[in-house]
Copies of this chain bind each other. A is one copy, B any other.
Amino acid sequence: MPKNAFYAQSGGVTAVINATAAGVIQTARAHRDKIGTIYAGRNGIIGALTEDLIDTSQESDEDIAALRHTPSGAFGSCRYRLKGLEENKAQYDRLIEVFRAHDIGYFFYNGGGDSADTAHKVSQLGDMLGYPIICVGIPKTVDNDLPITDNCPGFGSVAKYVAVSIREAAFDVASMALTSTKVFIMEVMGRHAGWIAAAGGLAAEKEGDPPQVILFPEVPFDEAAFLARVRRYVDEQSYCAIVVSEGVRNTEGKFLSEAGTKDAFGHVQLGGVAPMIANLVKDKLGYKYHWAVADYLQRAARHIASKTDVEQAYALGKAAVELAIEGRNAVMPVIVRKSESPYSWEIGSANLAEVANVEKKMPREFISEDGFSITEACRRYLSPLIQGEDYPPYVNGLPDYVTLKNAAVPKKLKTTFEL
């Protein structure tokens, strides 16, 4: 009898993490001689710790195929990080208890930097605690901050959403500018790095195209330079479109969005750097503004996902299972950029030890000298990632996303576990 597998989704979900799940499950189903049942963790690793497993074998082939076009985490995700083995051995003992009870010999963990770290720890269960397991991490994060891999699944689709959205909104404000709104500000994700904000720059294909200003977390906010630039574009082009990262900081390194706002109920308001920038523009330059905060819309926007991103997400799930079947423990499939123009890529692999706890920063040479736009090098890197459309099917005017049955596997243990 082949060993069963455990698959879990971790951290913030994306438009394509379920495409990876489809890649994992479909590939495992094609190798029933090597891998038994795929159990998914309900809400990520928490599902393993609490023996709350989902029996994916009860899902139809059709529904598993539909995961490819369904955003979010179909089995539930979580923000929960395993401690180190020495700090909390009980967690690892519990994993072994659950894995042994359900005859699990493969562990697939689909997430970002923290998850690569968790997967790396689990990969040591064999050597450290004598429970043999093949552990494969699978990259996922809109933050695009994992090392080694060319990019992270989920990022390309956010990038496309952001570039499309700022182009559309810029067309709008351009046509209203004479008598109404002159400045439009869109806030995007990226607390620690400007990858997503940079993607907005793809909408600007030639000098002066919108967005005319990008505010990156990597560049301390310079109010005077910013206002001068906005004024210049309003003077020259009658309007200015701005992409601002939620992670933009003042010169003291403090998030602008945490600088302390109170709302009408008297509560401190967190988040929302776009309205702050908008008010600054209004106050100092007198221009009418509009602002948007895309928030979850950007990372859930499967309707405008990048085809490249979907294909890579799926291919990584498939490759993870193939690596596991080859007996490769403690690895992660990665995307390897073979050529840039035309873009071609293949799947390679990296050691989890080299991925865990390493953050890929945006190179300074990807940001223009004045700090308000992206460079050609950045464009060459980013542009391939948003290529192609991969529309979901629609029913009744709405995307036909699947909700799985997510049937619970009967518990075999009498013990419970306190998180």
Contacts and interface: CB of A to CB of B under 8 A. Distances in A.
Given A264-B276, A387-B396, A396-B383, A293 B296 contact: no
A74 B270 CA distance: 38
Interface size class of A (residues with CB under 8 A): 35 or more
Contact of A168 (B9, B265, B297): B297
A353 B362 CA distance: 59
A245 to B, nearest CB: 16
A262 B262 contact: yes
Contacts of A176: 12-13, 73, 77-79
9 contacts: A12-B180, A72-B168, A76-B175, A78-B176, A160-B397, A171-B401, A290-B295, A306-B397, A383-B396
Contacts of A259: 264
A178 B268 CA distance: 25
A132 interface: no
Interface in A168-186: 168-169, 171-181, 184, 186
Nearest to A397: B386
A267 B289 CA distance: 14
Given A71-B172, A72-B171, A202-B398, 16 more contacts: A12-B176, A70-B171, A165-B300, A165-B301, A167-B399, A168-B303, A181-B296, A203-B398, A267-B279, A267-B283, A269-B276, A274-B293, A292-B295, A306-B397, A383-B396, A388-B397
A302 interface: yes
B265 A279 contact: yes
B72 A175 contact: yes
B169 A296 contact: yes
A145 B281 CA distance: 32
Interface string A44-75: 00100000000000000000000000111111
Given A396-B383, A398-B202, A13 B79 contact: no
A178 B44 CA distance: 10
B296 A184 contact: yes
A292 B271 CA distance: 10
A280 B260 CA distance: 16
A307 to B, nearest CB: 9
B399 A168 contact: yes
Interface in A59-104: 70-80
A140 interface: no
A185 to B, nearest CB: 9
A318 interface: no
Contact of A282 (B75, B202, B264, B267): B267
